[in-house]
Amino acid sequence: MTLDLRQIQAFLAVCEHRSLGRAAAHLNLTQPALSRTIQRLEAQLGAPLFERYSTGMVLTAYGEALLPHATLLRHEADHAIEAVRALRGLASGTIRVGAVASVVSGVLPQAIEAVLARWPNLRLRIIEGVGDFLADALAKREIDLAIGIALPENDEICAVSDVGWSDTSYVVAATGHPLMGKRGLKLADTRGCHWVMPPRGTAPFEELLRLFARHELAPPEIVAETRSIIALKSLVARAGFLSWIAEPMYQAEQKAGLIHTLPIPGASAPRRLTVYRRRHGILPAPAVRLLEQLRNLTATQA
């Protein structure tokens, strides 16, 4: 049995819009034509894919089983078209990448600049987040590459072993923070301060806990947790908070005289940045081009 790509596209449109009318409008079809396409797919599979209600269309258990496979088929078809266009010299498509903030601030823009210099017709979709968010986006096919720290490798996600580099994290504060001029500063001196960090369970949060444990100190008081790097740096620069940040993330603020590293002996830690992809399926051509540039840029840091 062969699945028709048009049937797959129709099925996915109904899944997305949960309405024959809205899905038909999206596909530029009449509603009866779309309904017949879905009925033919159901007849071919020998099972109902949707339960039809006055309020809309709801997937059956059979439809739920088909959904991930249909999504994969559509993505692979798109990738195949992009690969053929690339061979014809019509390289186009979208680079879909997610990364932690330090990468978005440093290596990623350099790699993107190099890619677009060679393939100006490519477009970009970039998301920023910490590890759990990136792993989820990669598994859901919202992105094709994720650049982060210690993402969980499993049946769906794997590391690209030959692309990786390191940066270093430090305790940071506003330029005018009282601790900035303190002599003989120690990590213990920060425990009475307010801290802002990414959420519990993320790599930066766990790194901070390990830092204090190495100094035989109880964890500091985390007053604010946020996934927003803008909010995090604003609390440091303008509200007297401390944080634990990778150096590329605050280089611009450091040059502007807003945020600086606190000179605490032993309060730094290197971390490994790795590129991850889905374990199965073809990596889209636009993602391959970005990966090549990342590999070139980071070869001396591997």
3-state secondary structure the chain: CCCCHHHHHHHHHHHHHCCHHHHHHHHCCCHHHHHHHHHHHHHHHCCCCEEEECCEEEECHHHHHHHHHHHHHHHHHHHHHHHHHHHCCCCCEEEEEEECHHHHHCHHHHHHHHHHHHCCCEEEEEEECCHHHHHHHHHCCCCCEEEECCCCCCCCEEEEEEEEEEEEEEEEEECCCHHHHCCCCCHHHHCCCCEEECCCCCHHHHHHHHHHHHCCCCCCCEEEECCCHHHHHHHHHHHCCEEEEEHHHHHHHHHCCCEEECCCCCCEEEEEEEEEEECCCCCCHHHHHHHHHHHHHHHHHC
User: Is there a single domain that holds both residue 133 and residue 185?
Assistant: no
Q: How far is 169 from 130, CA to CA, in rounded Å? A: 15
Instruction: Please give the pLDDT value at position 88.
Output: 54
Q: What is the pLDDT of residues 110-161, one digit of tens each?
A: 999 999 998 888 889 999 988 788 998 998 888 999 998 888 888 889 999 8
User: Is there a single domain that holds both residue 203 and residue 158?
Assistant: no
User: Is there a single domain that holds both residue 132 and residue 211?
Assistant: no
101 has a pLDDT exceeding 80: yes
174 has a pLDDT exceeding 70: yes
With contact defined as beta carbons under 8 Å apart, do 45 and 66 qualify? yes
User: Is there a single domain that holds both residue 20 and residue 48?
Assistant: yes
Domain of 63 in residue numbering reads as 5-82
Q: Which of 56, 82, 108 finishes a domain?
A: 82
With contact defined as beta carbons under 8 Å apart, do 271 and 143 qualify? no
Q: Which of 82, 100, 134 finishes a domain?
A: 82
Least-confidence region, from 70-74, 97-101, 134-138: 70-74
Closest of 148, 99, 96 to residue 128, by C-alpha? 99
Instruction: Please give the pLDDT value at position 258.
Output: 96
Token digits of residue 255: 């040059």
Instruction: Please give the pLDDT value at position 251.
Output: 92
User: Is there a single domain that holds both residue 288 and residue 141?
Assistant: yes
Question: Which residues, 6+ apart, have CB-to-CB distance to 85 below 8 Å?
Answer: 91, 92, 93
Instruction: Please give the pLDDT value at position 81.
Output: 66
pLDDT band, residue 300 (cuts 50/70/90): low
Closest of 297, 302, 282, 296 to residue 93, by C-alpha? 282
Q: How far is 49 from 18, CA to CA, in rounded Å? A: 12
- 256-269 mean pLDDT: 95
Q: What is the pLDDT of residues 276-292, one digit of tens each?
A: 999 888 788 889 999 99
User: Is there a single domain that holds both residue 102 and residue 185?
Assistant: no
Question: Which residues, 6+ apart, have CB-to-CB distance to 222 below 8 Å?
Answer: 195, 196, 197, 200, 205
Q: How far is 291 from 108, CA to CA, in rounded Å? A: 10
User: Is there a single domain that holds both residue 145 and residue 264?
Assistant: no
Neighbour count for residue 83 (Cβ, 10 Å): 16
Instruction: Please give the pLDDT value at position 90.
Output: 45
The CATH code of the domain that includes 107 is: 3.40.190.10
User: Is there a single domain that holds both residue 235 and residue 288?
Assistant: no
Q: What is the pLDDT of residues 218-238, one digit of tens each?
A: 999 999 999 999 999 999 999
Instruction: Please give the pLDDT value at position 160.
Output: 94
User: Is there a single domain that holds both residue 207 and residue 250?
Assistant: yes
91 has a pLDDT exceeding 80: no
User: Is there a single domain that holds both residue 260 and residue 297?
Assistant: no
Q: Using alpha carbons, list the distances in angstroms from residue 72 to 2, 23, 60, 75, 283.
A: 15, 19, 19, 5, 12
Q: Using alpha carbons, list the distances in angstroms from residue 80 to 2, 74, 122, 145, 209.
A: 18, 10, 16, 18, 46
pLDDT band, residue 87 (cuts 50/70/90): low
Token digits of residue 33: 């034509």
203 has a pLDDT exceeding 60: yes
Instruction: Please give the pLDDT value at position 130.
Output: 80
Say which amino acid occupies 75. H
User: Is there a single domain that holds both residue 68 and residue 122?
Assistant: no
Q: What is the pLDDT of residues 15-59, one digit of tens each?
A: 988 888 899 998 888 999 999 999 999 998 999 999 988 888 899
- 243-255 mean pLDDT: 94
Instruction: Please give the pLDDT value at position 250.
Output: 94
Could you tell me what percent of the chain has a pLDDT over 70? Answer: 94
Q: Which of 33, 55, 82 finishes a domain?
A: 82
pLDDT band, residue 84 (cuts 50/70/90): low
Mean pLDDT (the chain, rounded): 89
User: Is there a single domain that holds both residue 264 and residue 171?
Assistant: yes
Q: Domain count for the chain, please give it.
A: 3
